[in-house]
Amino acid sequence: MKVFVVNCGSSSIKFQLIDMETEIPLAKGQIERIGSEGSFLKLTPTGKYTVDLPMDVPNHDVGIRVILDALQNKDYGVIKTLEEIDAIGHRVVHGGERFTDSVLITQEVMDGIQACSAMAPLHNPPNLFGIKACMELMPTTPQVAVFDTAFHQTMPKIAYLYGLPYEMYVKYGLRRYGFHGTSHKYVAQVAAEMMQEHMSDLRIITCHLGNGASITAIKYGKSIDTSMGYTPLEGLIMGTRSGEIDPAIVPFLMEKENMTAPQIDEYLNKRSGILGISGLSSDFRDLESAANRGDERSQLAIDIFAYKVKKYIGGYVAAMGGVDAIVFTAGLGENSPFMRDKICNGLEYLGTRIDQERNKVRGKAQEISVKRATVKIFVIPTNEELVIARDTYNICKRIIKL
Ligand code: AMP
């Protein structure tokens, strides 16, 4: 069975075609700059060279067509006809309180995703464009929606309600939803396997540290708290997002800097975070080299980030009454021994310590705590596409004749 995994962003489409017998992608790639000049498709058939194809992609509908054509191309494609695709799995960012698990897409589900668009105006509409485009081109192929928010729907009210009048929760659904759920769930499952235990017996803190960053407390297999909130802006300081700030700063800045609501939203999402503090870059690689050259603000941005992560870890240990494992994943978590060391330095009181030799690992699943540590620390590369493909497979295998 082959599953086409689609992740539509506002100006990009990432995709993989995964063979579920081996769980290995036959091809992966992306389209970027949709709707702008200079859009292009990158396709990497597994084991072959990447093909770069500049082309005009004005919208997601055309984007999906272009990808499916490329997958069938006689020179660099990996399938002969679209009939070889058995099912399609879509990443959908916001499922609100309605979607607590992945679902087979029907008109009712699409209406539900549309209804959640108010909470994720930049994300859910492109997700729906992708679903509709696939439906047009492959009307009989089953499609599944896998939600970023679903894994966090187990959070209790004490973790997800804000200190606002309760009516605002009832009227607008203003509460913590959390994101990166697919990633947190996946790396926690792998950590449990590596410990030869069941997730239902463990308390795990998962740190998804990429350009967007969030931390989750997973108690006995369930997300009980997470750092992102109503939107992905809350929580840790990130590449360009401020993370948590005193909400009174918002009206202050709007007045003093003469900003409208969309402008302050852009300011906090795109121009703040480590980019704003360093004044240099949103990429930790740039900050690490600038700090090594003595750039003080880059050093400060790194220090603030590590401090915030450490504070969240401490908070979640308290929330769960202990911890058995801490997991690092995503771009920074998987690739920066320096940042992992900085975060874990001082957590020895928990019963853990990083092993400097093991911590040299990059992009590979490995335990990095010292041998006798009672709290294990892991690096585990995330694989959201595989989770989407697995959920799609599990939901569709009942309805597809294999
Ligand atoms: P992601 O959003 O998961 O793709 O992560 C992207 C971020 O990971 C980049 O912006 C970098 O800050 C960080 N990153 C990736 N590779 C490295 C590395 N080798 N060292 C430090 N940071 C890295």
Q: Averaged over 373-399, what is the pLDDT?
A: 95
181 within ligand 1 shell (Cβ under 6 A): no
Instruction: Tell me, yes or no, whether 213 and 109 share the same domain.
Output: no
Residues 207 and 131 reside in one and the same domain: no
Same domain, 109 and 236: no
89's CB contacts (< 8 A; 6+ apart) are 3, 4, 5, 6, 102, 143, 144, 146, 388, 389, 391, 392
Cα-to-centroid distance, 241 and ligand 1 (Å): 15
How many domains are contained in the chain? Answer: 2
Same domain, 127 and 9: yes
In a domain, 344, yes or no: yes
Ligand 1 centroid – CA 77 distance (Å): 30
User: Does residue 99 belong to any structural domain of this protein?
Assistant: yes
Q: Which one of 112, 147, 182 terminates a domain?
A: 147
Our answer on whether the CB atom of 330 is closer than 6 Å to any ligand 1 atom is: yes
**Could you tell me how far CA 382 lies from the centroid of its own chain?**
9
Write out the E strands in 9-96: 13-19, 24-32, 40-45, 51-54, 87-92
In a domain, 115, yes or no: yes
Strand ranges (E), 187-330: 203-209, 213-219, 222-226, 325-329
| 342-364 average pLDDT score | 95
Q: For ligand 1, atom 23, name the residue with the nearest CA.
A: 332
Q: Among the atoms of ligand 1, which is closest to the Cα of residue 339?
A: 21
* Whether residue 110 is found in the same domain as residue 218: no
3-class SS shares of the chain: helix, strand, coil, % to 5: 40, 20, 40
Atom of ligand 1 nearest to the CA of 239: 10
Instruction: Check if 283 has its Cβ closer than 6 Å to any atom of ligand 1.
Output: yes
User: Domain check: are 226 and 369 in the same one?
Assistant: yes
Same domain, 142 and 11: yes
| pLDDT at 401 > cutoff 70 | no
Task: List the domain range (segments joined by +) for residue 333.
Answer: 196-384
Kindly state whether residue 24 falls inside one of the protein's structural domains: yes
Ligand 1: residue whose CA is nearest its atom 15: 331
> Does any domain span residue 342?
yes
Both 222 and 134 in one domain: the answer is: no
Ligand 1 pocket check for 305: Cβ under 6 Å: no
User: Do 89 and 210 fall into the same domain?
Assistant: no
Q: Could you report the per-residue pLDDT of 174-232, keeping only the tens digit for each?
A: 999 999 999 999 999 999 999 999 999 999 999 999 999 999 999 999 999 999 999 99
Residue 386 phi/psi, 5° resolution? Answer: -65, -40
**pLDDT tens digits, one per residue of 95-154:** 999 999 999 999 999 999 999 998 888 899 999 999 999 999 999 999 999 999 999 999
Give me the phi and psi of 235, to 5 degrees please: 100, -130
> For residue 315, what pLDDT is reported?
98
Of the chain, the percentage scoring pLDDT greater than 90 comes to 93
Q: Is residue 276 part of a domain?
A: yes
Catalytic residue numbers?
A: 148
H helix and E strand count, the chain: 14, 14
The alpha carbon of 330 and the centre of ligand 1 are apart by a number of angstroms equal to: 7
pTM for this predicted structure: 0.94
281 lines ligand 1 (CB under 6 A): no
Q: How far is the CA of 14 from the centre of ligand 1 (A)?
A: 18
Q: Check if the beta carbon of residue 242 is closer than 8 Å to that of residue 268.
A: yes
pLDDT digits (tens, 9 = 90+) for 250-274: 999 999 999 999 999 999 999 999 9
Q: What angle do CA 122, 123, 125 make, to 5 degrees?
A: 90
Whose alpha carbon is nearest atom 20 of ligand 1?
A: 336
Residue 178 lies in a domain: no
Ligand 1 contact, 336 CB (< 6 A): yes
We report the CATH number of the domain holding residue 34 as 3.30.420.40
Assess whether 206 and 345 both reside in one domain.
yes
> 248 alpha carbon to ligand 1 midpoint, in Å?
31
The answer to whether residue 135 sits within a structural domain is: yes
- Tell me how far apart the alpha carbons of residues 198 and 261 are, in angstroms, rounded to a whole number: 46
Last residue of a domain, one of 132, 147, 162: 147
Spatial separation of the C-alpha atoms in residues 161 and 204, rounded to whole Å: 22
> Measured between alpha carbons, how far is 226 from 244 in angstroms, rounded to an integer?
13
Q: Where does a domain end: 120, 147, 174?
A: 147
- Cβ–ligand 1 distance for 70 under 6 Å, the answer no
Q: What is the C-alpha R_g of the chain?
A: 21
Sheet strand arrangement including 222-226: 222-226, 213-219, 203-209, 325-329, 376-379, 366-367
CA 301 to chain centre: 22
Residue 301 pLDDT: 98
